[in-house]
Structure 1
Amino acid sequence: MSKYLVEFVALATAHFLALISPGPDFFLVVGTSVREGASRAAGLCAGIAAANGAYILLALTGFAFIKEPPLLFTAIRTAGALYLLYLGLMLLKPSQRPVDSPLPDDERPRGTSRRSQFAAGFLSAILNPKNAVFYLSLFTVIVSRDTPQAIQACYGLWMVLAVFFWDLLIARLAGSEKVRARLDRHTHWIEKCSGGALLLLGAVLLLR
């Protein structure tokens, strides 16, 4: 088996195991999908993938400054914690409408535009310093120094696409009209649980 294929399999496996572990992005996607529908959550997925791509790019170019100096890492972690608290509070707010009757585009507030959803997803992922440390560690531990940059870029592209399509799948499952109609009675609690999870993650990150 090719050395690069072994590297790719190891990298993809480690990345996927981390991807399927519920974190802030997962709860944000689920909560938004249930409330706004899968099409609205697509912007979130793109924003999350873009932020992951930014950290992958930093890892590929050898930047380890996210961990040095500690003050920068602490600042990013604090900002991320506060943003998670904000997102959690937003999901805890009442939806104000039945889950199976989404608002038409021209009646939606600006805050639910795809641009703002992209920004929310991007901020959620970029303000999580664990992403930077994870990708830096992943490339440092698994990828050989003599692996060509072009191949490493392919690894990175694969991971960005994996993040996007995995989150999109979660959004489709949680936000489809059939699922939302069936979950009508439970939507309130799904939103609250997602919001509560984000609040808890933010509080833990803030108090560490």
Structure 2
Amino acid sequence: MYWMEFLTVALVHLLAVASPGPDFAVVVRESVARGQRSGSWTAIGVGSGILVHVVYSLLGIGLIVSQSIMLFNLFKWLAAGYLFYLGFQALRAKPVAVDNLESSAPSAAISPRRAFTVGFVTNGLNPKATLFFLSLFTVVIDPHTPLAVQAAYGLYLACATGLWFCLVAWLFSRERVRAGFARMGHWFDRVTGAVLIGLGVRLAASEIA
């Protein structure tokens, strides 16, 4: 009965998650710099962050945030500040030597909790995700759809997001891919940092549509 609605939700989500943004940037950075383990935990954090948006969308809190300029701006500046922090850290990071990729990966790895937190906070504080899920749960999903079915949609979105970024982590942690990025030296870190800071600036300048 709800298959067509689910397929629509899945398609819209696929188009959104495949579009490069802060989530993609941090997963790629963790995967290249620290390996698949850190990248995968970051990806799981991103997927778990989706549940935050799902919960407040189901509760209707997202509607309140979208209608309150003060709350939206507070949320927006917190997210922008976090992206600035990640971006400046990337700009300061040391390049990974190609000859030391294999040996440096374990020592360079961060704890699963920290990697998870990076992904979770990056996604959870993204006000663009707030507006996306608000639109999804008010426009695409029929308000008469049972709450349990909507919650199942949300669980799927979280799992699909986590799996997608785990795939991204796997790809960018491959030795050949990492070696290619490592050969770029400081440039990879600088470009990644510039992208994150640019996303932060764009986010800070955004307004409620």
SS for the counterpart of 2:182 is coil
Between the aligned partners of 2:134 and 2:152, the Cα distance in structure 1 is: 16
Q: Post-superposition shift, 1:187?
A: 5.2
> Is the Cα–Cα contact under 8 Å of residues 91 and 189 in structure 2 kept in the other structure?
yes
Classify 1:97/1:32 alpha carbon distance in 2 versus 1 (closer, same or farther; 3 Å). Answer: same
Tell me the residue number matched to 1:98.
97
Q: Does 1:127 align with 2:128?
A: no
Unaligned runs of 5+ in 1: none
Q: Single out whichever of 61-70 and 136-145 deviates more from structure 2.
A: 61-70
* Distance in 2 of aligned mates of 1:84 and 1:164: 20
Q: 1:14 Cα deviation (Å)?
A: 0.5
1:153 and 1:187 mapped to 2: Cα distance?
A: 44
Count of residue correspondences: 203
How far did 1:93 drift? 1.7
1:101 corresponds to which letter in structure 2? E
The offset of 1:108, in angstroms, is 4.6
Matches within 5 A, 1:184-203: 184-186=182-184, 188-203=186-201
Preserved CA contact (<8 Å) 1:92 1:192: yes
User: What do residues 139-198 of structure 1 show as CA deviations (whole Å, max 9, x unaligned)?
Assistant: 111111221122111111110011101111111111122321344313543332221110
Identify if the C-alpha distance between structure 1 residues 123 and 55 changes in structure 2 by more than 3 Å, giving closer, same or farther. same
Task: Give yes or no for contact 2:42–2:116 (8 Å, CA) kept in 1.
Answer: yes
Unaligned runs of 5+ in 2: none
CA distance in 2, matches of 1:83, 1:102: 30
Q: CA RMSD in A?
A: 1.8
Q: Which amino acid aligns with 2:56?
A: L
Contact 2:95 2:189 in 1 (8 A): no
Q: Report the equivalent of 1:15.
A: 13
Counterpart in the other structure of 1:143: 141
Work out whether residues 81 and 200 of structure 2, in 8 Å CA contact, stay in contact via their aligned partners in 1.
yes
Amino acid in the other structure paired with 1:198 = L
Q: 1:58 to 1:142 in 2, by over 3 A?
A: same
Distance 1:174 1:31 in 2: 9
Question: Does structure 1 retain, via aligned residues, the 8 Å contact 2:33–2:96?
Answer: no
TM-score by length of 2: 0.89
Q: Which runs of 4+ in 1 moved over 6 A?
A: none
| Secondary structure at the counterpart of residue 153 of structure 1 | helix
Deviation at 1:51, TM superposition (A): 1.2
Which is helix-richer, 1 or 2?
Answer: 2
Secondary structure of 1:60's counterpart equals: helix
